[in-house]
Chains A and B, each alone.
Chain A
Amino acid sequence: MGAIWDILNLALLAATIRMATPLILTAIGGVFTERSGVTNIGMEGMMLFGAFFGVLASYWTGSPWWGMVGGVAAGGVAGAIHALLAIKYSANQIVSALGINVLALGLTPYLSAITWGSRGASDEVAGLPRWEIPLIREIPVISEILGPHAPTVFLMVAIVVVAQIVLFKTKWGLRVRAVGEFARAAATAGVPVQQTRYICVVISGILSGLAGVHLALGHLAMFSWGMTGGRGFIALAVMIFGNWRPYRTLAAGLVFGFADALQIRLQGLGVPVQFMQMIPYLVTIAVLAGVMGRSRPPADIGKPYEAG
């Protein structure tokens, strides 16, 4: 029994939140882009850009906050490139997103080698501080779970709430959903289809960039080659598991975050590490195969829209 409680403890729950944060941030971005009818499997690359430029900006300025700005901006620019290709130039959305992923895998070690002399890892830079919530700090059990965490964790919670309100309680949110379900009808009703899609894809880039900042400045304070490790793809599964809804995406992200935190702890128990690392991928396939009941993506997804 003792061994189990060594693993299932409060630190595990704290780790769950930390591991879930980049998945949820990216998946919320995915909710916006897919709700507007544009697929984005390039979020892995956008996250990698966010991680790299976050570290680069922190390195240049000495401030992790400028690092956050840099990472978010880089993710947003990568999102804008995907949006431009997919929306204006009617690119195949899967191909252009793959191009973004490959670009991130090439450009980040290239620039890392030029800046720090190593394509594998950056120097250590100023990382984000850890925050505690003043009142909760006094409560014994909950304080261990809810803090101290990187500011990105608290930002993530706020973003989930805002995303839910924006998508389901505002006029613009209604338009986003209409564009993703039936672009032509939305256009007839006077919704600027292309503009709505641009904004949503850039939002997904920004949130992926923020997820990268969380990974690079939230707990390590450095960049390493391919450090996103497939989380951008797992986030797609989180989004689907969350049925393209922010609150459910939050819950789904916590489930995946828990699996991720657990697999790291189980590595000490003699289970081969490779089998543990397979878990998120296998869970994703099981979820997609309909174990959780069927989910329905927005109807107009992946289809370029041409006015006129």
Chain B
Amino acid sequence: MLAKVIAPLRSILPEIVAVCAAFMVGAIVLWVTGHPIGDTFYRLFHGAFGTRNAIGTTLTRATPLVFTGLAFSIAFQCGLFNIGAEGQLQVGAFAAAWVGFALPAMPPFVHIPLAFAAAALAGVLWALIPGVLRAKRGVHEVVTTMMLAHVGILLTRYFVFGPFKAPGLIPHTERIASTVQLARIMPPTQLSTALFIALFCAFAVYLFLWKTSLGYGIRAAGLNPTAAEAGGVPITYSIILSLLLSGGLAGLGGAGEVLGVFHRFIDGFSPGYGWDGIAVGLLGRLHPIGIVLSALLFGALRVGGIAIDRTTDVPLDIAVVLQAMVILFIAAPKLLKFIRKRK
């Protein structure tokens, strides 16, 4: 019985060590800057999980991270870095909002899927250029996806400052129709059924990557492109497909925020879910179960960081420092081995 619990724990030991090491560095930063370590971490944890509302808020924050974590991972399984999920998320969110406020009210079972489809399509379009450039001309997708992320952020910002701005001072669109709003499941928090859609997507990505031949092709192309090509996997096709799916997933994440949380597109609605998705995917070892767990951790860090900022004089950016340290420790498995040996 005990062995059954310990065996999977042993396999994720590197991730556990990375998170612990990140918190140790965070403790050093707090100590050097003269802040209480124990109290700060207690408030971080309590702010994220201590009350029913805290848990609801953490789950709300984790939901888009599941989408962007999946988006990063499905491309990385094919050996590609889609680090532009932030832009795909933003254009997806705007597309969903547009379907919500510009189209006439429809029955929810039509309107909601239509909004999600528009968001996915926008995200796919945003990943299309990097995908084609990579597959056909060998242009590295790191720079193209990142540049297009900035273009996407600027384009949606233009929309809500310009042609689609609702009256008033705040740069946002009109409210979306009630027929397209997702149900809230833990009031008064903003947690909505978008969480279930995120979990469903995680399950679908698992089935796709591990149980279908198309998914196998993507993973094979990522593991060893030369061998995969020799084995009959069309590499060009796998590259474009995985980047398009990646963009689509990020776009769905944007729809979840608009339909579930904000009920309109607001400039700056994302505190960087697209960028955080990179860390979520890496810490989750690109596996849907791991992604859901690490989305929970990063969502908790964000919410706990805000709690720290509100109740102490520790700046909330300590949460970002912790996140950076997780990425750095995850980047170098050999460093973790070195730390473990020294203990």
Residues on A facing B (Cβ under 8 Å): 41, 81, 85, 88-92, 94-96, 98-100, 102-103, 105-107, 109-111, 113-114, 119, 230, 233, 236-237, 240, 272, 274-275, 277-278, 281-282, 284-285, 288-290
Q: Which of B33, B143, B157, B328 contacts A103, CB < 8 Å?
A: B328
Chain A residues with CB below 8 A from B335, complex form = 85, 89, 91
Contact (Cβ within 8 A) B278 A109: no
Contacts known (A95-B282, A110-B317, A274-B158); A233 close to B147, Cβ less than 8 A: yes
Summed over the interface, the residue pairs from A and B with CB atoms below 8 Å come to a total of 128
Chain A residues with CB below 8 A from B129, complex form = 285
Q: Which of B33, B143, B334 contacts A90, CB < 8 Å?
A: B334
How far in angstroms is the closest Cβ of chain B from A307?
Answer: 14
Contact (Cβ within 8 A) B143 A107: no
Mostly, the A contact residues are helix
How far in angstroms is the closest Cβ of chain A from B202?
Answer: 22
Q: Tell me which of B63-71, B211-219, B245-253, B319-327 binds A.
A: B319-327
How far in angstroms is the closest Cβ of chain A from B158?
Answer: 4
Of chain A, the residue at the smallest CB distance from B329 is: A99
Contact (Cβ within 8 A) B330 A95: yes
Chain B residues with CB below 8 A from A272, complex form = 158, 161-162
How far in angstroms is the closest Cβ of chain B from A224?
Answer: 14
Contact (Cβ within 8 A) B148 A281: yes
Chain A residues with CB below 8 A from B327, complex form = 95-96, 98-99, 102
Contact (Cβ within 8 A) B83 A106: no
Chain B residues with CB below 8 A from A89, complex form = 332-335, 338
Contacts known (A89-B338, A110-B321, A114-B33); A289 close to B139, Cβ less than 8 A: yes
Chain A residues with CB below 8 A from B330, complex form = 95
For residue B331, CB closer than 8 A to chain A, the reply is yes
For residue B293, CB closer than 8 A to chain A, the reply is no
Chain A residues with CB below 8 A from B142, complex form = 41, 94
Contact (Cβ within 8 A) A274 B282: no
Contact (Cβ within 8 A) A90 B151: no
Chain A residues with CB below 8 A from B323, complex form = 102, 106
Of chain A, the residue at the smallest CB distance from B130 is: A285
How far in angstroms is the closest Cβ of chain A from B10?
Answer: 22
Contact (Cβ within 8 A) A278 B318: no
Contact (Cβ within 8 A) A85 B328: yes
Chain A residues with CB below 8 A from B155, complex form = 274, 278
Of chain A, the residue at the smallest CB distance from B137 is: A290
Chain B residues with CB below 8 A from A100, complex form = 324, 328
Most buried by A among B143, B147, B322, B325: B147
Contact (Cβ within 8 A) A281 B139: no
Chain A residues with CB below 8 A from B325, complex form = 99, 103
Q: Which of A94, A105, A236 contacts B320, CB < 8 Å?
A: A105
Q: Which of A95, A106, A230 contacts B317, CB < 8 Å?
A: A106
Contact (Cβ within 8 A) A233 B146: yes
Contacts known (A95-B282, A274-B157, A281-B150); A109 close to B317, Cβ less than 8 A: yes
Of chain B, the residue at the smallest CB distance from A283 is: B147
User: Can you list 25 A-B pairs with a CB-CB distance of less than 8 A?
Assistant: A89-B338, A91-B332, A91-B334, A94-B142, A95-B330, A95-B331, A98-B83, A99-B331, A103-B321, A105-B320, A106-B320, A106-B322, A106-B324, A113-B315, A119-B315, A233-B143, A275-B154, A278-B150, A278-B154, A281-B151, A284-B143, A285-B144, A285-B147, A289-B139, A290-B139
